[in-house]
Amino acid sequence: MSESTPIIDVRDVTLTFGGVRALVDVSFQVGAGEIYSIIGPNGAGKTSMLNCISGRYSPNQGSILFRGRDITPLRPNDRCTLGMGRTFQNLALFSHMTVLDNIMVGRHHLLKNNFLTGPLYWFSGAQKEELAHRREVEDIIDFLEISHIRKAVAGTLSYGLRKRVELARAVALKPDLILLDEPMAGMNLEEKEDMARYVIDLNEEWGMTVIMIEHDMGVVMDISHRVMVLDFGKKIAEGLPAEVMADPYVKKAYLGEEIEEDGTTGKKEAEVTEI
């Protein structure tokens, strides 16, 4: 694979649900080592795009390449094996399990012992393998500063901590590419600052490429290398954060501003009816 080959190459992806077109001919590339944010109004197709990349949805048209390999027909678990992790907009933790056990689930595809060799725990190397995986998990727990809740039942935790545990489980996959679906939704300012710091550290220190959906424009502007904007399933802008936010079509999508003939925007004055 050439060094210039993008880690993700989305080519003309179209996704429909009956008569509804969730994505329409969307194409973009993400280079290794980028933090790439996907933004847009509600219903723009952002989560549908992540679902196509992760394999939960199969596009009606187009293809998705991971490190130059066409992964369009692959199942989600096969994509995990290739080095792809994912968090969800709606928490998908096992609420009855401890934090430690939830994160260990993320290591499942890395286990070499199976149901045949596993029962021979003391003789097949399963014990050493489990200890090695637990050490990896403890490193993640320390990184995300959740040591104090490692034995807590996930369902008893606050929303912000559960979001952090879900991130930990995705990191436990040891992905080269991690897909984050609104990782800071529902968090207070302090929790958002912490999560933003973790995303930056995963990118810079752990070497993970990040594709992130996020509604907080302050966070997007601060930590993203590039941004893509979707509106009604179509890509309407892509580029550096400041350039994208200055785009008149992006302002129209977000703020309802009208585009003038010269390409500038102006807010539409509301009609006033006297009673």
Q: Quick one: 79 exposed, middle or buried, by C-beta within 10 A (0-12, 13-18, 19+)?
A: buried
**Span 228-238, pLDDT tens digits:** 999 999 999 99
111: pLDDT strictly greater than 70: no
271: pLDDT strictly greater than 90: no
129: pLDDT strictly greater than 50: yes
**Span 69-82, pLDDT tens digits:** 999 999 998 998 89
- What is the pLDDT averaged over residues 145-172? 93
- Domain spans in the chain, listed from the N-terminal domain onward: 84-174
**Span 172-218, pLDDT tens digits:** 988 999 999 999 988 999 999 999 999 999 999 999 999 999 989 99
Residue scoring higher pLDDT (110 or 7): 7
263: pLDDT strictly greater than 70: no
Distance between CA atoms of residues 192 and 229, nearest Å: 22
127: pLDDT strictly greater than 70: no
**DSSP state, 270?**
P
171: pLDDT strictly greater than 90: yes
pTM, two decimals, is 0.85
Q: Which of 68, 65, 100 is nearest to 4 (CA)?
A: 68
Rounded (10°) angle between helices 189-204 and 159-171 = 10
**DSSP state, 64?**
E
For domain 84-174, give the fold: Rossmann fold (3.40.50)
Residue 36 φ then ψ, to 5° = -115, 115
List of residues 6+ apart from 87 with CB closer than 8 A: 163, 166, 167, 170, 178, 179, 180, 181, 183
The total number of residues written for the chain in this structure: 275
The rounded percent of the chain whose pLDDT value lies above 70 is 83
Pick from 41-50, 92-101, 261-270 the range whose average pLDDT is largest: 41-50
Distance between CA atoms of residues 275 and 273, nearest Å: 6
Asked if 177 and 211 count as a contact pair (C-beta separation under 8 A), the reply is yes
Distance between CA atoms of residues 246 and 159, nearest Å: 34
